[in-house]
């Protein structure tokens, strides 16, 4: 048997080292677990650019596998399948195309609808050292002050539930988005909901009978409860404001 190096994942952490708050990093933790690869997810903060400088990227996830450094969640998934072909994340080109679509849908539609609901809590979850950097870069991205982005009105919830209504229909028909077993597409989708779960207590599903809730619970239980065991902001002792 070939000795495998332990892979290091730089994993965005919040106020507590064990609070892991990046949807993109959650994809990769699930992908590494899917492939039964040995890894260590080390806490990393947004301002610690020099620690991931070898990736030529400015944000996590970044993995170091022996002498190889790879950043960007999609490229990491591709790398893992090419370096470790067994237990593929993409079982075929078709499967990869599907995952790519889910990737785009999640980033262009789902994340922007989750952000207004959880942002207030994300600001509490973020490490104090990262706060200014986070505020500055996100305000530039959103084009307005973060306070104006936060929105927990009924309309904001309704927008999320309307945009995900087709996912509920899909998950009524299949166990995972790609059938009987989970694929990278499930991890991409999971990352978004797990991000919300780690940072916030807001209602991201319509109700308990929502097929997405049932799917998410199933996802949380995968790989020895990897998702389920995650530290959530609400579990941490309350800090003085």
Partner 1 sequence: MALAHKGLPYEAIPVKYTDKSSIAFSNQDRVPVLVDEGVTVSDSWAIACHLEQKYQAAPALLGGDMGRHFTRFIDLWATRSVFPHIVRLVLFDALNHLDPVDADYVRSTRERQLGIDLATLEAQRGENIKPFNQSVAPLRSYIRQHAFLGGETPSYADYTVFSLFQWARMISSFRLIEIDDPIFSWRSRMLGLFDGLAANVPHDDH
Residues 93-112 that bind partner 1 (CB under 8 A): 93-95, 97-98, 100-102, 104-105, 107-109
Residue 142 interacting with partner 1 (CB under 8 A): no
Q: Please report how close the Cβ of residue 178 comes to partner 1 at its closest, in angstroms.
A: 5
Among 42, 149, 163, 220, binds partner 1 (CB under 8 A): 163
Other Cβ atoms less than 10 A from the Cβ of 86: the count is 7
Cβ atoms 46, 133 nearer than 8 A: yes
Q: Please report how close the Cβ of residue 216 comes to partner 1 at its closest, in angstroms.
A: 17
What are the phi and psi torsion angles at 174 (to 5°)?
-135, 160
Distance CA 21, CA 232 (A): 9
The candidate with the shortest Cα–Cα distance to 227, out of 237, 215, 238, 239, is 215
Among 13, 59, 178, 212, binds partner 1 (CB under 8 A): 178
Distance CA 188, CA 204 (A): 16
* Token pair 């009105």: residue: 153
**Residue 54 or 91 having the CB closest to partner 1:** 91
Size of the site for partner 1 (CB under 8 A): 26
Q: Please report how close the Cβ of residue 185 comes to partner 1 at its closest, in angstroms.
A: 8
Strands (E), the chain: 7-12, 39-44, 62-65, 68-71
Chain-centroid distance of CA 63 in Å reads 15
Stretch that binds partner 1, among 24-32, 44-52, 62-70, 167-175 (CB under 8 A): 167-175
**Residue 131 or 142 having the CB closest to partner 1:** 142
Q: Specify the 3-state DSSP secondary structure of 135.
A: helix
Residues found near partner 1 in the complex (CB under 8 A) = 91-95, 97-98, 100-102, 104-105, 107-109, 163, 165-167, 169-170, 173-174, 177-179
């Amino acid at each position: 048997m070939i000795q495998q190096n332990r892979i290091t994942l730089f994993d965005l952490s919040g106020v507590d080292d064990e609070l892991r708050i990046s949807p993109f990093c959650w994809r990769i933790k699930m992908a590494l677990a899917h492939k039964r690869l040995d890894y260590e997810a080390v806490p990393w903060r947004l301002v610690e650019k020099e620690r991931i400088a070898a990736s030529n990227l400015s944000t996590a996830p970044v993995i170091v596998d022996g002498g190889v450094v790879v950043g960007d969640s999609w490229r990491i998934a591709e790398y893992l399948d090419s370096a470790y072909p067994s237990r593929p994340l993409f079982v075929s080109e078709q499967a990869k195309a599907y995952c790519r679509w889910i990737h785009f849908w999640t980033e262009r539609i789902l994340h922007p609808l989750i952000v207004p609901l959880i942002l207030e809590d994300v600001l509490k979850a973020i490490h104090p050292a990262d706060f200014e950097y986070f505020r500055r870069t996100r305000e530039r991205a959103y084009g307005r002050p973060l306070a104006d982005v936060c929105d927990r009105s009924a309309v904001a919830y309704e927008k999320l539930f309307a945009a995900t209504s087709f996912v509920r229909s899909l998950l009524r028909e299949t166990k995972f988005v790609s059938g009987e077993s989970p694929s990278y597409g499930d991890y991409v989708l999971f990352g978004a909901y797990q991000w919300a779960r780690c940072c916030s207590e807001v209602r991201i599903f319509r109700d308990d009978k929502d097929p997405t809730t049932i799917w998410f619970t199933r996802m949380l239980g995968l790989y020895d409860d990897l998702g389920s065991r995650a530290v959530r902001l609400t579990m941490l002792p309350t800090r003085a404001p």
